[in-house]
Structure 1
Amino acid sequence: MSPSRPIFRRTALAETLVRDLAGESLVDYSSGMFLAAPRRTGKSTFLNNDLVPACVQRGWLPVYVDLWSDRDTDPAELISGAIGTALAVFEGTLAKTAKKAGIDKINLLRTLSWDFTRPQLPAGTTLAQALAVLHQVAGQMVILIIDEAQHALNSAGGLNAMFALKAARDQLNRGDRPDGLRLVFTGSSRDKLANLVLKSKQPFYGASITPFPLLGRDFVEFITQVWNSRLADSNQFKVDDLEDAFERVGRRPEMLGKLLAEVSVGLGAAGNLGALLRTGALNHQAGVWSDYESAWNDLSPLQQAVLAVMAGRALGGQPFTPFSEQTLADVNRTLERQQAEPNASTPNVQKALDALREKELVWKANRGEYALEDASMAEWLVKGSLA
């Protein structure tokens, strides 16, 4: 975060999650740890700067992959590529020996035929096989961290990869090998992550989703100190002002940084930074909500009603079943309140959902479940347009 790039450490949170993964707390994450929080609230930064080092200190082998990093690549390929890269580290010594002898392939633990000219896993290799070999050659528990895991639901290959990871988990955490593999999944939407755990046909049925703790006042105090060290003594930010601004931008560090840069650069040596900061934060929030309003006004009454019912379900922690009698009735009731024709039916709602997907307001999982593309839009829908 400008003016410098300080690293705010969340050591206590990392230690708590590591203890949970180790089975040292009352919560059992052996089936998988699912952490949900909105985008740009610091999840990926925490994973790389805090959780991964904490795992290393425990003597574990963390493997990190971000499914958001390349949305044009099948999630299954991204996951296998990350595992392949981790395996390659342990192949180094064997690879050099083999290449000196003019050999391009060697058998790794008589399980995988590894081709050193290719970065991916060998063709036909399952994720369970690859993770089992990685665990064996490393001699460590593997912590596979999948950031923005909900993108795995966008393709059949990604969903199959989730089932493959479940199989690997079951294989490596049984018998005399209870500590072979732990899985950590993060997502920017609790509703989307829920598509991995809520139904019996989903790969991690029965696992729970944990809200990822947003950055707190200690982060605000840290950032205040960093920025004030670059400003004149007569031109200082106040912690309470930054706390107010941080809350208004959804506790998103990058957005707070932009506000601070605009205020500090624009004011120079002026004194009333706090008041202008609060104005800037309000303007930012108004700008975000203005984008929502613009998208909302472009929708048909039926599309608005469907989106409103989805928002209500999301904020209430309830699943959205688009074609149930209750949902159709709720959509029609919303239309009546809008003084529009109550024309919700299965075909009409399907058309509305298709249109909302095209406008990138609604997301559809590979198995047909729907969720808001931007989870924070639910708050505006309930508190703003529907107030």
Structure 2
Amino acid sequence: MSVTTTNLALPYIMAAQAQKHVTHNEALRLLDGLVQLSVLDRDLTAPPGSPADGDRYIVASGGTGDWAGWDLNVAIFTDGAWQRLPPRAGWRAWVEDEGVLLVYDGSEWVGTMPGSLQNLALLGVGTIADPANPFSAKLNAALWTAKTVVEGGTGDLFYTMNKEAAGDDLGLTLQSGFVTKALLGLFGSDKFRLAVSADGSTFFDGVRVDNTSGIVDQPQLPRFKAYTNYDNYVGVGTWTKIGLNTTDYNDQGAFDAGTSLFTAPVDGTYLFGATLLYKVNSSSSARMRGRLVLNGSTEIRGSFGESSATHVSLATAIWLQTMVPLVAGDTVELQGYFRAQDGYFAAEHTSFWGCKIG
């Protein structure tokens, strides 16, 4: 007949036993030490200098002094002495200085966090997950880092997102105050898109990349090409704005065909060019000039040109091109000039074009 219980090894009170209270108190002492087990530390190999009654520890490997040979056992200080409690598989212990829960697996104390989590329906980190957002996290920083070669990894890191079909959406939603301000990904097709919004309902594609060719498109880029459909007469010695009343294209409407002005919609660097085609009026020695002008008064450096040779009507031309930084609201116009004789800037082939490049 056993003299102790099977699992906790608590002493039985035996029949005809004298001083039964001793055995009973021993069992209570063991219960007090083991039930709701919480230890102060698990890293010590020698007993602390001034333990309090009831203090408990998991003895680290290499125990010495009163703990010699007690490796991984629970040591409890009671009635002025250390008592050894050999653990059994399934015992759980809260380690107070680390704030972790351990379980004894029959050979060592291991953490209770499972090695893998599979098929969870909801997971919330710092917040509550719900069916609409089954994984939710509320935090100020997150880190993904590659498993190194030394650790058995490759040193690479890939974050993979997948959608079922090309017509589905796949991407990142960037919000401010839970109002969507930008979308990044594959929306409605396999072309890569970056779209932005002011109100979370109307979106503008800033960048599109064709996945079959790699060609990049900027649909909202300000760009235009304007021309005149009539001959612009210009007298001698006066810089005159060329009337450019027709456009081949005018993305974002930055060019006004009524005023023949390009107005920068946003700050940036812009590239402009122009063609001035000569048409004779009274003499072919007109000495044609052209330039681009900022805000109606300042000649843009690098945009001036002149043809000083004898002109050929509808054949002699000047080509202008320059790059200039603009701020939103700046205007650019094309001006023409005749230095010797008056003349025309010919219809159809007198043109002005530009676009934002940076």
TM-score, structure 2 normalization? 0.17
Point out the structure with the larger strand share: 2
Query: Higher relative contact order at CA 8 Å, sep ≥6: structure 1 or structure 2?
Result: 1
TM-score, structure 1 normalization? 0.16
Point out the structure with the larger helix share: 1
